[in-house]
């Protein structure tokens, strides 16, 4: 009888653990084997550029397409992986990569010095003089994704394999370590999100004073930056709005600030709820554990 009771309690504890792990998996970012360089969430609903940008009017531009939600950068012994998640990913024109709309530029500050201007005028931004870039990863549909090593002149360009992960919202770029060299946790990143347009400057979709069928609308950004969302880890001067509104005196362009490597998971009500549920379940485990009696104590 006592043995059966202990087995029942053991099964109950395992069931509680399974439920707790399920809740953590549902609410928390999926863990990935390998070495993580950056894992950072971006606030929801800030796909508005400097604050007033609106989507093009055509029906294919669904809400959330350019709302950056998370960037997870990691590597194994073969590749460096860039997992970029959005609120929504669609593929109305059947691009082979599984997405059509998103245009992603990731500029990497890997060593002292570097460039403070982008590869081309497309994004309409500049970069902090304290964090010039040496590498750029371009992610876009129709076999246009490339890794640029700009440490030499001319720079070296390599094709990149890109696909959509099974969650349907994460675009992954795989760059061989033979190309990137050994990544470092000291790297800093500029993550820029625009809209893909074959005919746009550097493939960035245009921004006009008011939105049209195929162009974004923004009174503050028209003719300037074409960036819809960026990965930012700050508030005040470090926020997306502040960065995209500010400009240097010479060119009148926004000057961006990079994010550092590491982990940064902002507070959300979902995280709080998951934490409360897991703690409650773990606490309830002790109700099922058999109580140990001191040796010699009678029952």
Residue 16 pLDDT > 50? no
In this prediction, residues 51-64 reach a mean pLDDT of: 97
- Integer Cα distance of 98 and 152 in angstroms: 33
With CA atoms as reference, report the closest residue to 193 among 235, 245, 117, 138. Answer: 138
In this prediction, residues 229-253 reach a mean pLDDT of: 82
From 1-5, 94-98, 104-108, 175-179, the region with the lowest mean pLDDT: 1-5
Q: Please indicate whether residue 81 or residue 261 has the higher confidence score (pLDDT).
A: 81
Q: How far is CA 212 from CA 27, 117, 127, 209, in A?
A: 37, 29, 29, 9
Structure tokens at 265: 């998971």
pLDDT-derived band of residue 9, with 50, 70 and 90 as boundaries? Answer: low
Sign of the CA dihedral running 240, 244, 245, 248: positive
Token pair 């890109």: residue? 162
Task: Give residue 122's pLDDT.
Answer: 96
pLDDT-derived band of residue 12, with 50, 70 and 90 as boundaries? Answer: low
Residue 248 pLDDT > 90? no
In this prediction, residues 108-127 reach a mean pLDDT of: 96
Q: Please indicate whether residue 189 or residue 18 has the higher confidence score (pLDDT).
A: 189
With CA atoms as reference, report the closest residue to 116 among 258, 285, 282. Answer: 258
Who contacts 108 (Cβ-Cβ below 8 Å, separation ≥6)? 133, 134, 135, 136, 137, 187, 188, 189, 190
Helix (H/G/I), strand (E/B), else coil: 106? strand
Structure tokens at 173: 């770029």
From 22-36, 170-184, 223-237, 247-261, the region with the lowest mean pLDDT: 22-36
Q: How far is CA 194 from CA 84, 149, 269, in A?
A: 13, 22, 28
- Integer Cα distance of 254 and 246 in angstroms: 5
- The burial class, CB within 10 Å (0-12 / 13-18 / 19+), for 51 is middle
- Integer Cα distance of 92 and 129 in angstroms: 39
Task: Give residue 285's pLDDT.
Answer: 53
DSSP 180-216: H-S--TT-EEEEEEEEB-TTSGGGBPPEESS--SSSE
Task: Give residue 267's pLDDT.
Answer: 39
Fold of 33-264: Immunoglobulin-like (2.60.40)
With CA atoms as reference, report the closest residue to 55 among 220, 245, 198, 228. Answer: 228
Q: How far is CA 169 from CA 80, 94, 226, in A?
A: 19, 16, 22
From 170-179, 186-195, 273-282, 283-292, the region with the lowest mean pLDDT: 283-292
The model's pLDDT over 129-181, given as tens digits with 9 standing for 90+, comes to: 999 999 999 999 999 999 999 999 999 999 999 999 999 999 999 999 999 99
Q: Please indicate whether residue 224 or residue 158 has the higher confidence score (pLDDT).
A: 158
Residue 13 pLDDT > 70? no
Q: What is the percent of the chain with per-residue pLDDT over 70, rounded to a whole number? A: 74
For the chain, the domains span 2-24+267-288, 33-264
Task: Give residue 221's pLDDT.
Answer: 84
With CA atoms as reference, report the closest residue to 127 among 115, 111, 112. Answer: 115
- Stated as kind and residue range, the H or E segment containing 19 is helix 2-27
- Integer Cα distance of 272 and 266 in angstroms: 11
Task: Give residue 237's pLDDT.
Answer: 85
Helix (H/G/I), strand (E/B), else coil: 115? strand
pLDDT-derived band of residue 236, with 50, 70 and 90 as boundaries? Answer: confident
Q: Please indicate whether residue 238 or residue 75 has the higher confidence score (pLDDT).
A: 75
pLDDT-derived band of residue 25, with 50, 70 and 90 as boundaries? Answer: very low
Q: Please indicate whether residue 295 or residue 283 has the higher confidence score (pLDDT).
A: 283
Structure tokens at 214: 């195929």
């Amino acid at each position: 009888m006592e043995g059966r009771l202990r087995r029942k309690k053991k099964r109950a504890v395992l069931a509680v653990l399974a439920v707790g792990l399920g809740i953590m998996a549902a609410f928390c970012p999926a863990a990935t084997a390998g070495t993580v360089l950056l894992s950072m969430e971006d606030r929801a609903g800030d796909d508005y550029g400097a604050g007033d940008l609106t989507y093009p009017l055509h029906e294919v531009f669904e809400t959330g397409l350019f709302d950056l939600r998370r960037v997870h950068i990691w590597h194994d012994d073969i590749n460096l992986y860039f997992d970029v998640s959005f609120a929504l990913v669609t593929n109305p024109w059947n691009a082979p990569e599984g997405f059509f709309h998103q245009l992603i530029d990731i500029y990497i500050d890997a060593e002292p010095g570097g460039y403070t201007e982008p590869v081309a005028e497309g994004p309409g931004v500049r970069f902090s003089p304290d964090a010039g870039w040496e590498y750029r990863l371009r992610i876009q549909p129709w076999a246009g994704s490339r890794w640029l090593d700009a440490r030499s002149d001319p720079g070296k360009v390599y094709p990149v394999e890109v696909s959509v992960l099974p969650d349907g919202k994460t675009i992954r770029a795989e760059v061989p370590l033979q190309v990137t060299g050994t990544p470092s946790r000291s790297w800093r990143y500029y993550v820029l999100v625009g809209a893909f347009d074959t005919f746009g400057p550097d493939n960035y979709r245009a921004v006009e004073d008011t939105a049209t069928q195929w162009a974004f609308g923004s009174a503050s950004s028209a003719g300037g930056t074409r960036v819809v969302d960026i990965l930012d880890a700050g508030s005040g001067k470090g926020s997306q709005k502040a960065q995209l509104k500010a400009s240097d005196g010479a060119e009148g362009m926004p000057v961006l600030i990079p994010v550092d490597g590491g982990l940064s998971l902002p507070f959300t009500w979902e995280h709080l709820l998951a934490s409360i549920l897991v703690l409650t379940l773990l606490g309830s485990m002790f109700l099922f554990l058999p109580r140990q009696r001191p040796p010699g104590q009678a029952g």
